[in-house]
Amino acid sequence: MLKFTIQKKLEGTLARAGVIETAHGEIKTPAFVVVGTKATVKALTAEQIRSLEAQVVLANTYHLYLQPGEGIVEKAGGFGPFMDWHGPTMTDSGGFQAFSLGAAFGNSVSKIATGNEVSDKSATVGQLAKVTDEGVMFKSHLDGSKHLFTPESSMEIQWKLGADMIFAFDECTSPTAPYEYQKKSLARTYEWAKRCLARHEQLDPEKKQSLFGVVQGGRFQELREEAARSMGALAATADFPEGFDGYGIGGSFTKEDIGTAVGWVNALLPEDKPRHLLGIGEPLDLFNAVEAGCDLFDCIAPTRMARHGTLHTSAGRLNIRNAKFVDQFVPIEEGCTCYTCTHHTRAYLAHLFRGDEMTGATLASIHNLHFILRLVENIRESLFDDTFHQYKKDFLEGYYKK
């Protein structure tokens, strides 16, 4: 069972710095969680992940369930040993797949709303998934076979995947879903949370895994606050005297919501439990999430961007495929200490990407993860130094300048 210690709070905000102690090591928070969807961080080895000083890796329950199957992963000792990662680990619940294969399927809806989403689409009907009070019935994207995820089966699968921290099964709704549906979904997620707690206690009486409850509620303040109160209050019930070990904040947001909806939730959640913002990894969102009281965040964006040739720099993003980089014999960013920048040039990466060489994805992923991991590390230090606001201002002015 994890232990969370708050070491510093930033006056006038919900921001805090601390340490999470797990069976496989400490996590200094705030911390960025590297995503290893199928027990692999795409294009990188476990040794490369360690060299980046990543603290924790998250794997995807849905994908590992379908391939190679949770039984195989269990025989390997869990997804950490399976991929040769021996630090702290997390698995999500599979709940987001109900969203991405259901209401969001084909609608251009993601966790960050852009204004281009298809609205008023029923969140219960999608091309590959259907949500009911029992769970989520979905078709495998691999072979079309039908499967049912329930709160109980999510706990059972995650138990076999063997992560230190796991998430309760939830329904992630579309940011365009109406209030009436969001309210119905919130009640469903709460009932699922109780079922997850019950099954988790049966599977893990020695508390080897820590269970995080997930707060939903869309973009409605009333529902977000209701969800935060109800999830936090589970710890006060006779059936679940210990409640959740931490909390995940799920759902879909606009960028403005990171500083509002997330703050509504964290102002009400138990202060002594860690909070994880699911699926967020843009620099602006990270600053806003920390200021709103989040301790952990995960996102595939750094490596996904890298595989497409988009690289983070302190002056914003650059697309290494652009012709202007083919003869620039300088690092991606001067002063960057990552392996890529200390050994290779923009010209070399441009060559790799323009030639469709696999090494390009590896070198770009190393750089982008280094950039985000160091950014969150610097944010943590700014909390201790009481320079957070100035650091945020200076960084964002450079990164997002026109």
Query: Using one digit for the tens of pLDDT, what is the confidence trace for 75-126?
Result: 999 999 999 999 999 999 987 865 576 444 444 444 545 444 433 333 333 4
Tokens of 58: 């998250």
d(CA 341, CA 251): 36
What are the sequence ranges of the domains in the chain? 3-299, 307-399
Predicted local confidence at residue 139, as pLDDT: 86
- The pTM (predicted TM-score) of the whole model is 0.93
Instruction: List the one residue out of 256, 276, 127 whose CA is nearest residue 212.
Output: 276
What DSSP state is assigned to residue 263?
H
Q: Which of 204, 257, 298, 385 is catalytic?
A: 298
User: What pLDDT does 133 receive?
Assistant: 94
- The tokens for 260 are 């509002």
- Count CA atoms within 13 Å of residue 64 on its CB side: 34
Q: What is the CA radius of gyration of the chain?
A: 21
pLDDT, tens digit, 9 for 90 and up, residues 346-367: 999 999 999 999 999 999 999 9
Give the model's pLDDT for residue 345.
Answer: 98
Residues 52-70 have a mean pLDDT of 97
Note whether 101 and 141 are within 8 A (CB): yes
pLDDT at 238: 65
Nearest CA-CA partner of 174 in 108, 226, 224: 108
Q: Which two tokens stand for residue 117?
A: 């989403």
Q: How confident is the model at residue 141 (pLDDT cuts 50, 70, 90)?
A: confident
> Sign of dihedral through CA atoms 28, 34, 40, 43?
negative
Q: How far apart are CA 213 and CA 229, in angstroms?
A: 12
CA triple 46-51-52, angle to 5 deg: 100
CATH number of 3-299: 3.20.20.105
92 among known catalytic residues: yes
Give pLDDT, residue 108. 44
- Of residues 144 and 188, the one with the higher pLDDT is 188
C-alpha closest to that of 296 among 250, 261, 340: 250
